[in-house]
Structure 1
Amino acid sequence: MRNQAIEANARSLPHSVWPAQAMAQLEREAADSLGLTLYELMQRAGQASYELARRLWPQAQHWLILCGHGNNGGDGYVIARLAQAAGLQVTLLACTGNKPLPEEAAQARDSWLAAGGVVHAADAAWPESVDIIVDALLGTGLNRAPAAPYASLITQANAHAAPVLAVDIPSGLVAASGTAPGAAIVADHTLSMIALKPGQLTGKARAHVGQLHCHALGLERFLAGETAPIRRVDATNLAGWLPVRNATAHKGDFGKLLVIGGDSGTAGAIRMTGEAALRTGAGLVRVLTHEDNIGPILTARPELMVDALHADRLDQALEWADVIAIGPGLGQRDWAQNALKKVAASKKPMLWDADALNLLAINADNRQNRIITPHPGEAARLLGVNIHEVESDRLQAAQTLAKRYGGVVVLKGAGTVIASAAGEMAITDAGNAGMATGGMGDVLSGIIAALLGQKLSLFDAACAGCVAHGATADALARQRGTRGMLATDLFELLWQFVNPEMIQQ
């Protein structure tokens, strides 16, 4: 039931995402354009948080509110005042700082005190009975590990049985990147103010944000006139990418896809890529692989056209194909390197994955007709850094990869990031931990390549493919959980998401 609630809520979230570092200026410009003060916006944020908490936990009588020494803490003071005015019991713990509170937060604190509220020190003992915890400690400006007393309050909140509502972002989670350099709140619900931020959707976000909500605080009219630099993409976008097919269509309309890979002993990888392409609607799929793999692949999926990967057959197949995918199970011996060199000479739309990326890291080039789909380890090799550096800023890593290698980059992981050399960027809001198993990347490659053959642009094919892939896995998880999910299990339900008119809204 919780997965269904999260998915239903995701459909109500905006598709625009704003860099965290732009939020302060965006907030000021929006307030000025609508004749609002920043304190009025803070009151709206507090009101929105209070109303969400009452809706989520209507029986909660004792609220513990943790306030930081900044504007996030100011939101907490507003929430405390509203809860107390409603007759609820409120205990408020506040952190102090070397500098005075920001003006708006000081106003909120003074209003709380004037209403009879009490401010307890951050190290005060917690009440024995707490029904909910409101995290208003650290906001979206955090870029380092929380120090004392924030870290200890975060640790106490995470160990407590009461549910947690995070105001704007779970304290300790970096809004710009989704990293958690130290202690970070594990929230049950997070209410993002004004707009979504990248760190709520990628990196460690899934482990800390809980169910994500967003409240524009009445700034919808202003935001409607602005173009966000990042898109949140989910299953609601699929109909725009994948219209209903024309009744007179034939297989030639949906692309001739050449899939290359599967050295001796790795037939499974290239078979999954080929079948995924068929299941996504590719018109014709031809597989070139090691000759040992031909029989097993044809036996498993006779709709694939399978042949041995030899130089003359590769030349003919490259001429035949509309789209090329190379890499799954390819290996890195001469056989693979020679095939990749011939593919690299083609100007047709293509996708490189797996060992094609490992070879690309050795002989780098830049081309605009290619999608690359690295996981963090492959991305680290392509960038010449370690995995931690990639994961510490997934958006920046994807952008750097796109500039260095051209075309479109799909940086896989929780909250997959898609970036183009032209500057487009999206975060996939689909998928779950059940996808952490071998073969999922091979299936994704086939899905994206098939969509390229159906005339989607490189960026749109990457976005649509990642969404269809993740949404299918989410549907499977709702049926039977995440543990034990296989990559080929996606074939059972993929049809629902590549035919979005079939999705039950």
Structure 2
Amino acid sequence: MTRNPISIPHTIWPADDLRRAEKEAADALGLTLYELMLRAGEAAFGVARAAWPDATRWLILCGHGNNGGDGYVAARLAQAAGVDVTLLALESDKPLPEEAAHAREAWLNAGGVIHSDDIEWPDAVDLIIDALLGTGLQSAPRPQVAALIARANAHPAPVLALDIPSGLMAQTGATPGAVIEATHTVTFIALKPGLLTGKARDVTGTLHCHALGLERWLDAQSPDIIRLDASQLGRWLTPRRPTSHKGDHGRLVIIGGDSGTAGAIRMAGEAALRTGAGLVRVLTRLENVGPLVTARPELMVDELTPQSLDAALAWADVVVIGPGLGQQAWGKQALRKVESCRKPMLWDADALNLLAFNPDKRHNRVLTPHPGEAARLLNCSVAEIESDRLLSAHRLVKRYGGVVVLKGAGTVVAAKAQPTAIIDAGNAGMASGGMGDVLSGIIGALLGQKFSPYDAACAGCVAHGAAADRLAARFGTRGMLATDLFSTLRRVVNPDVIDVNHD
């Protein structure tokens, strides 16, 4: 999924709230809902013409709601501009909403023709407009709609989805059934969460957002969901004072690396160094000490024993535990001692799996589960986690406290009394071993640099994804290794000196 950077805001509205707010905003600005529909249709037409200027034969699929009304407006404008428009509409026993009925009538009055949804499609189609379902979807599309969706997906013409790809749920990004695979999506008024998390990246294509002239009203509101991307790194990662020293940038201890998993603890440690940690101590198995020091001599590496752990916990400003920890007695004993630490902590990997067996709640901790670990922590299925990622993150906060980073496409960061953040960075190349260990080191390093747990999680996730995005732009996503991120991470966490166009 890509986006039009000029038109994508950093605020996100819960889908239900936005539906209610639309009328309130229109009333406040002296607009009718039909006028907003006209603006939506105009915005859709503008995106289509800009993206596909040579497309002269459009197929427009209209549903029996206001999303279909947007389609009628776009159809009328396209036909007036000389486009050959074929419009298919779903029929229903229920009357159209008032605004959509006006748009339908205007289309007919302009000489437009409405075809039933079961006609043969024209032989030549340059562009398909999806105006079938909109943001009110609550369940899988019914068979009649699913058949149209499948046919559109199988067609070689590009697809522009209006407001949201039909079949994608606006609040959650879940796809309970058939879903349009759009080439571009233009959403109206504001971003919805489901456009940025869950299955969104598979189906939205290039994302545009058009506020329909409601910017002034929207700017006066305070929605509790935010979009975070690489453009915001400079607000967190400001230049260091010239006289700063390593003690100013945090003493971090990282605990893990059971037999056979030295790589996990090494990646977490090096990521912390590359993110600017002042001093990083690693406690691990004795057999790992020599290889780790050889691979990265800047790490201070000791064998994990009760004595070394006591000393490290007294010395450290921040504790990271979990990468390669395992679930045997060795790891369990270390976690039991760390549990009583009052310093800022990050728990990942097997620390989370062990936490699922002995749940507790504390507020000095960042948890970084992937969906499988989140399912174990909440004693539910991965499908339940993925069906509503924002809700799942908040359930984890309620049960375990602190800050929760629910990893995945559209990572969610949640904490009590903080906006829910969706991370709009990262790519499919990150679906490989070790990426979570790198993220643990990044967030741990930021905690040591006196970031709050929430800010460390947000900035760390953005930096992690942005480093991967820089790599993908150069080499593609297939074959990306977690350690490859070190080459771009250092540049990402120094945004004041980065030339964003070059590596």
Q: Which bracket does the TM-score occupy, shorter chain normalised?
A: over 0.9
Residues of 2 paired with 1:10 and 1:304: CA distance?
Answer: 39
Tell me if 1:289 matches 2:284.
Answer: yes
TM-score (structure 2 length as normaliser) = 0.98
Partner of 1:143, secondary structure, is coil
Tell me if 1:414 matches 2:409.
Answer: yes
Residues of 2 paired with 1:340 and 1:374: CA distance?
Answer: 17
Once the two structures are superposed, what CA deviation does each residue of 1:107-164 show, in whole Å capped at 9, x if it has no partner? Answer: 0000000000000001111000001000000110101110132101100100011111
Structure 2 counterpart of 1:327 = 322
Structure 2 counterpart of 1:186 = 181
Tell me if 1:81 matches 2:76.
Answer: yes
CA contact (8 A) 2:277 2:445 kept: yes
Tell me if 1:221 matches 2:216.
Answer: yes
CA contact (8 A) 1:145 1:180 kept: yes
Tell me if 1:46 matches 2:48.
Answer: no
Residues of 2 paired with 1:285 and 1:423: CA distance?
Answer: 29
CA contact (8 A) 1:322 1:349 kept: yes
Letter in 1 for 2:473: R
Deviation at residue 12 of structure 1 after TM alignment: 4.2
Deviation at residue 378 of structure 1 after TM alignment: 0.2
Structure 2 counterpart of 1:486 = 481
Deviation at residue 204 of structure 1 after TM alignment: 0.2
Residues of 2 paired with 1:218 and 1:301: CA distance?
Answer: 54
CA contact (8 A) 2:7 2:210 kept: no
Q: Which runs of 5+ in 1 are unaligned?
A: none
Once the two structures are superposed, what CA deviation does each residue of 1:27-75 show, in whole Å capped at 9, x if it has no partner? Answer: 0110010000000000000000001100111111001000000000000
Deviation at residue 228 of structure 1 after TM alignment: 1.2
Out of 436, 446, 450, the position equivalent to 1:441 is: 436
Structure 2 counterpart of 1:146 = 141
Tell me if 1:475 matches 2:470.
Answer: yes
Residues of 1 paired with 2:446 and 2:456: CA distance?
Answer: 5
Structure 1 counterpart of 2:111 = 116
Once the two structures are superposed, what CA deviation does each residue of 1:58-105 show, in whole Å capped at 9, x if it has no partner? Answer: 111001000000000000000000000111100000001231000000
Letter in 2 for 1:496: R
Q: Which runs of 5+ in 2 are unaligned?
A: none
Residues of 1 paired with 2:431 and 2:302: CA distance?
Answer: 31
CA contact (8 A) 1:11 1:236 kept: no
Letter in 2 for 1:420: A
CA contact (8 A) 2:447 2:453 kept: yes
Letter in 1 for 2:461: C
Deviation at residue 23 of structure 1 after TM alignment: 1.4
Partner of 2:134, secondary structure, is coil
Structure 1 counterpart of 2:124 = 129
Tell me if 1:262 matches 2:257.
Answer: yes
Deviation at residue 335 of structure 1 after TM alignment: 1.3
TM-score (structure 1 length as normaliser) = 0.98
Partner of 1:149, secondary structure, is helix
Partner of 1:418, secondary structure, is strand
CA contact (8 A) 1:177 1:203 kept: yes
Structure 2 counterpart of 1:166 = 161
Residues of 1 paired with 2:233 and 2:6: CA distance?
Answer: 12
Letter in 2 for 1:110: E
Deviation at residue 24 of structure 1 after TM alignment: 1.2
CA contact (8 A) 1:433 1:482 kept: yes
Residues of 1 paired with 2:103 and 2:312: CA distance?
Answer: 69
CA contact (8 A) 2:43 2:210 kept: yes
Residues of 2 paired with 1:10 and 1:370: CA distance?
Answer: 34
Partner of 2:442, secondary structure, is helix
Structure 1 counterpart of 2:348 = 353
Letter in 2 for 1:266: T
Letter in 1 for 2:255: I
Residues of 1 paired with 2:62 and 2:209: CA distance?
Answer: 20
Tell me if 1:430 matches 2:421.
Answer: no
Letter in 2 for 1:451: L
Letter in 2 for 1:385: C
